[in-house]
């Protein structure tokens, strides 16, 4: 097997996950990655983890605003309304 077609290792595969999810691997890289994934529960699990993390990060959303900051911004809004 040549270097170009050898299987990726798990250590290498985990570093391809973002590019894979973003659709930015070359066709050959994607094939090698998917070929590995099909036979590796660990890396399949890793990809599932990253998918879960992305979904959870979006679902959880940004930090809650502290009440003092919110009050300050609402005051700004009232002041602006008064001016306009």
Partner 1 sequence: MDDEVLLEKLLVGDQDAFRALVSRYHSSLVRVARYHVDSDAAAEDVAQDTWVAVLRGVHKFEGRSSFKTWLFKILVNRSRTAGSRDRKQVPVDTAFAEPTVEQSRFDAGGAWTDPPTPLDDLVSAHLDDALVVRAIRDAVRELPEPQQAVVTLRDVEGLSTYEVSALLGLTEGNVRVILHRGRAKVRAALEGVARGGLP
Q: Which residues bind to Zn ion, rule: CB under 5 A?
A: 10, 13, 40, 42-43
Q: Which of residues 2-41 bind partner 1 (CB under 8 A)?
A: 9-12, 14-15, 17-19, 22, 24, 40-41
Cα separation, 46 vs 64, in Å, equals 30
What percent of the residues of the chain are helix, what percent strand, and what percent coil, each to the nearest 5? 75, 0, 25
What letter would DSSP give residue 61? Answer: -
Query: What is the binding site for partner 1 (CB under 8 A)?
Result: 9-12, 14-15, 17-19, 22, 24, 40-43, 45-46, 48-50, 52-65, 69-70, 72-74, 76-78, 80-81, 84
């Amino acid at each position: 097997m040549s270097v170009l077609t050898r299987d990726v290792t798990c250590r290498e595969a985990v570093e391809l996950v973002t590019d894979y999810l973003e659709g930015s691997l070359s066709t050959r890289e994607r094939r090698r990655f998917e070929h590995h994934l099909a036979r590796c529960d660990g890396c399949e699990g890793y990809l599932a983890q990253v998918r879960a993390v992305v979904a959870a990060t979006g679902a959880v959303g940004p930090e809650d605003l502290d009440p003092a900051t919110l009050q300050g911004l609402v005051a700004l809004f009232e002041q602006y309304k008064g001016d306009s």
